[in-house]
Structure 1
Amino acid sequence: MPDPNDPRVQQMMQQLQQMMAQSMSTGPVNWQLAKQLAESELEAENVVGPADQAQVAEALRLADLWLDSAVNWPSGVTATDAWTRKQWIDRTENSWKQLAEPLAAQMGEAMQTLVPEEMAGMLGPMADLMKGVGSALFGAQMGQALAKLAGEVLSSADVGLPLGKTGVAALLPANIAAYAEGLELPVEEVRLFVALREAAAHRLFTHAPWLHAHLLGALEAYAREIRIDESAIEEAMSDIDPSNPEAAATLDLSEVFKPEDTEQQKAALARLATTLALIAGWINVVVAEAVGDRLPTMDRLMESARRRRATGGPAERTFEALVGLQLDQAKVRAATLLWHSLAEARGIEGREAVWAHPDLMPSAVDLEHPESFATVSEALEDLDLSMFDQLAVNDPKDEPEDPDER
């Protein structure tokens, strides 16, 4: 037995008591614990001062001005802000709840199925305590993920969609400064580049109001199919020698609780991956068009953004952590080419018209032949559909009996 006077044991017991005290929190994720853990792992940083706010506001104002020439929609930014890393965690909490809670709730329900019915009845009030422990465990996982992301994100939309309040464009000055230093580029130009991508994302999500719900719908569709692989648990447990405590350390829980995706989950992931690629590709195109030759370091900034995605940027980390989705950068390149080709064929207005409804959006198949999408969509737009309307109202008895004639 461990020595109860050992400081390490006392610290462990204090943490366990804290977790149990918080375990009765409502909801599938203990967000209070998640925020505490995330903030405790962050290094101390300076507060955002008036100078930071002014620089961010000016960068976003200029970004919106440049985007006016490249996008057919007006600005989606109604307010600007500069955040510290801790403020990013605090001000994006509601969005993380929307993203993570359906998955955590379904995982919790799936884990409950492992308890036999007769034992569940015997547990009584302990069942709620077990749910609370699960909530704390999910909270601890989210806390670690948020801490890593908070040290990397450059803006509110850096994970693929705006996470703050609607219309609030926000940048993180400390992270942008560190990013610029790593690139050995002027921080002013890096800040403007990040502001362009942030402002472009807000325009897109403002003028395609269905887009946010579409992404959440794909996550919820994946969550509905979450199952626990009971056979994998039984097989793993059967290989453990009870007389050898060290054998338990070899149990790979990630494999036990992650069965192969169902067909419905694969379809949801494909829809999610395609939508995220289309968002990133559209932002690439409009930012490049807005900048033109006004930023001398534009090529290096675009290349750095591409490398960041390829090596696992915030968007890649987010969706890999949530649903194990590995974002295919080839899809982003194809989507960039698709939007560029569409604008050349149909103009800016025709390009933006595709975002009017999810049914008009390019599919995963379209990304395999991105340059063809512009031709096909233009042909469909020019097609006279009146003949189909006429066929729809014709009386079936008027059709010729001969199939060839028909």
Structure 2
Amino acid sequence: MTSIGGAEMVDWKLAVATATRFVRPGPEVSREEARAVVAELRRHAATSEEHVREFTRMWPGGSGKGEAGKGEGGAGSDTPVLVVDRAGWIKANVAGFRAILGPLLEKMQDRRANVPGGAVFGAVGGKVTGVELGMLLSFLASRVLGQYETFAPPSRDLPGSAAGGGRLLLVAPNIVHVERELDVNPHDFRLWVCLHEETHRTQFTAVPWLRDHVEGEIQAFLAETDVDPATLLERIREAAQSLAGGRPPEEDGADGGGRSIVDLVQTPAQREILGRLTAVMSLLEGHADYVMDGVGPQVVPSVAEIREKFQQRRAKGAGRLDAALRRLLGLDAKLRQYRDGERFVRAVVDEVGMDGFNRVWTSPNTLPTKAEIAKPADWVTRVHGRTEQ
């Protein structure tokens, strides 16, 4: 990434240092218990891979239908599973942000180079942005149980598949924290989490075009960002005033849920792109929940108890501050993605079966639209040519 006077638009090292400093401490565990948790999560990840691929009929490098690619060690079959602590999750996500935001930041850097005093502003602004990003990640790092990290390039600290990146992260202290908070069987809960996260790894390794498609949509969204500093600051200020209560909640939407800062700084073109991205993310998250529920009863004895308690935890959050931050960051929209996406997957599988559903992975053209997520029958009609009976 280019820089002015040695200063980047974002001080990435400061972002890592800030997040690591302010992230909440994890649960107290002995060294022996920590080793046992790590070993068990690795075993469950391996077991989950087999369960998920058999249930979804999706295989590495395959078409997402039938037995394609089974046992062949196709592209993505070497995608690593990394059991990390909160600091490890932070480093992985900073690396991902740095990779995906690179083109946008270079564009902004070039714009700033032509502004008098841009070098000084860049040095200061990079540190401010680094601290802000670090604070955001410190909030999220204690909440994420697992993640399929897609975009950061492989490195010594963050290995990826030989095919070009991607790794499954399991955040051990967060998993232990939640299993204790919910008072559920820890061994069942760890396997249950692995089933969800393994589904995401399966999606990206069995559908070779998916990663590039998602990255392309994100880059298109970022390319539409208004990089004029004065305009951008004004729009962020307006968004902050709105979120701070300058407008009654009922004016923010029919459900009174409010709008996130991401919603409020979009251009019309970005809204269109975000609609497509929302549909894709709803599909991926809903598919993972559907698979988790489909496989769970066969291999997780206490799955009903876990699911009920976890859903209650999702719904209520962790207090007023947590709820405010979730609204600001758009995390409530992510919760809706789980719900809406799972309903879509369930309806389609009920209508056309698993192989019929797997036509969703044929190409970007067979992905559901945002409207089709809400009306699965429309997707069945479009892709299958008729409504199956």
Q: TM-score, structure 1 length as denominator?
A: 0.68
**Residue aligning to 1:83:** 84
Preserved contact between residue 338 and residue 367 of structure 1 (Cα < 8 Å): yes
Alpha-carbon offset, residue 373 of structure 1: 2.6
Could you tell me which runs of 5 or more consecutive residues in structure 2 were left unpaired when the two chains were aligned. 61-75, 153-157, 243-260
8 Å CA contact retained: 2:53, 2:59: yes
Structure 2: how far apart are the matches of 1:196 and 1:294? 10
Q: Tell me what 1:393 maps to.
A: none
Shift of 1:379: 2.4
Residue 109 (structure 1) shift = 6.6
Q: From the superposition, tell whether residues 312 and 370 of structure 1 become closer, same or farther in structure 2 (CA, over 3 Å).
A: farther
Match of residue 297 from structure 1: 302
- For residues 360-385 of structure 1, the C-alpha deviation after alignment (integer angstroms, 9 at most, x for no partner) is 11111212212443344322699xxx
> C-alpha offsets along residues 2-22 of structure 1, whole Å, 9 cap, x if unaligned?
xxxxxxxxxxxxxxxxxxxx9
- For 1:286 and 1:371, how far apart are their aligned partners in 2? 20
| Structure 1 pair 212–325 and aligned structure 2 pair: CA distance change class (3 A) | farther
After superposition, residues 216-295 of structure 1 pair within 5 angstroms as: 216-227=215-226, 230=230, 254-255=240-241, 260-295=265-300
Report the Cα offset of residue 72 of structure 1.
Answer: 0.9
Equivalent residue, structure 2, for 1:35: 16
The code of the aligned residue for 2:300 comes to L
Cα pair distance change 1:319/1:379, threshold 3 Å:
farther
Report the alpha carbon displacement of residue 179 of structure 1 after superposing the two structures with TM.
Answer: 0.5
Q: Residues of 2 paired with 1:146 and 1:254: CA distance?
A: 19
Which residue of 59, 67, 70 maps to 2:44?
Answer: 59
Q: CA deviation at 1:130?
A: 1.6
| Worse-matched range after superposition: 198-207 or 267-276 | 267-276
Structure 1 position 278, deviation (Å): 0.8
Aligned residues: 332
Deviations 1:146-185 (A, max 9, x none): 111211111233x8x6876345433222111110111111
**How far, CA to CA, are the matches of 1:277 and 1:319 in structure 2?**
18
2:350 aligned partner? 344
Q: Which amino acid aligns with 1:35?
A: V
Call closer, same or farther: CA 1:318–1:128 in 2, change over 3 Å. farther
Aligned ranges 1:7-406 → 2 under 5 Å: 24-43=5-24, 50-74=35-59, 78=78, 79-102=80-103, 104=105, 112=112, 120=115, 123=116, 126-157=117-148, 165=160, 166=165, 168-227=167-226, 230=230, 254-255=240-241, 260-307=265-312, 310=315, 321=329, 327=333, 329-379=335-385
State the alpha-carbon separation in 1 of the partners of residues 232 and 387 from structure 2.
Answer: 52
Please report the RMSD computed on the Cα atoms of aligned residues, expressed in angstroms.
4.0
Per-residue CA deviations over 1:8-62 (Å, capped at 9, x if unaligned) read xxxxxxxxxxxxxx99545422111101111111355577954233211111122
Aligned residues of 2:191 and 2:300 also touching (Cα < 8 A): no
Of the structure 1 ranges 184-193 and 370-379, higher mean CA displacement relative to structure 2 is found in: 370-379
Amino acid at match of 1:128: A
Asked if the contact 2:145/2:170 (under 8 Å) is kept, the reply is yes
Determine if contact 1:285/1:336 at 8 Å carries over to the other structure: yes
What secondary structure sits across from 2:56 in the alignment?
coil
1: distance between equivalents of 2:216 and 2:325? 19
User: How far, CA to CA, are the matches of 2:337 and 2:25 in structure 1?
Assistant: 38
Q: What CA distance in whole angstroms lies between the structure 2 residues aligned with 1:59 and 1:154?
A: 14
Q: Please report the TM-score for the alignment, with normalisation by the length of structure 2.
A: 0.71
- Give the partner amino acid of 2:89: W
- Secondary structure at the residue paired with 1:292? helix
Distance in 2 between the 1:169 and 1:233 partners?
A: 36
Give the Cα separation in 2 of the matches to 1:101 and 1:309.
33
Q: Distance in 2 between matches of 1:109 and 1:302?
A: 49
Measured at CA, do residues 155 and 215 of structure 1 come closer, stay the same or move farther in structure 2, by a change above 3 Å? same
What SS does the corresponding residue of 2:15 show, helix, strand or coil?
helix
**CA–CA distance in structure 1, aligned partners of residues 194 and 289 of structure 2:** 13
CA distance in 2, matches of 1:261, 1:295: 42
Question: Take 2:384 and 2:147, find their aligned partners in 1: how far apart are those partners?
Answer: 35
Check whether the contact 1:281–1:333 (CA below 8 A) recurs between aligned residues: yes
| CA spacing shift, 1:98–1:255, aligned 2, 3 Å | farther
Select between 226-235 and 355-364 the one with higher mean Cα deviation: 226-235
CA distance in structure 1 between the partners assigned to 2:343 and 2:280 by the alignment = 15
- Work out the percentage of aligned pairs sharing the same amino acid: 20
SS of 2:333's equivalent in the other structure is coil
Q: For the Cα contact (< 8 Å) 2:15–2:133, is it kept in 1?
A: yes
Cα 1:232–1:188 change in 2 (3 A) is closer
User: 1:352: Cα distance to partner?
Assistant: 1.9
Work out whether residues 15 and 94 of structure 2, in 8 Å CA contact, stay in contact via their aligned partners in 1. no
- The verdict on how the C-alpha distance between 1:378 and 1:234 changes in structure 2, with shifts beyond 3 A counting, is closer
Q: Label 1:71 to 1:49 Cα distance change in 2 as closer, same or farther (>3 A).
A: same
Report how far residue 269 of structure 1 moved.
1.8
Say whether the 8 Å CA contact 1:34–1:141 is kept in structure 2: yes
Hey, what does 1:394 align to over in structure 2? none
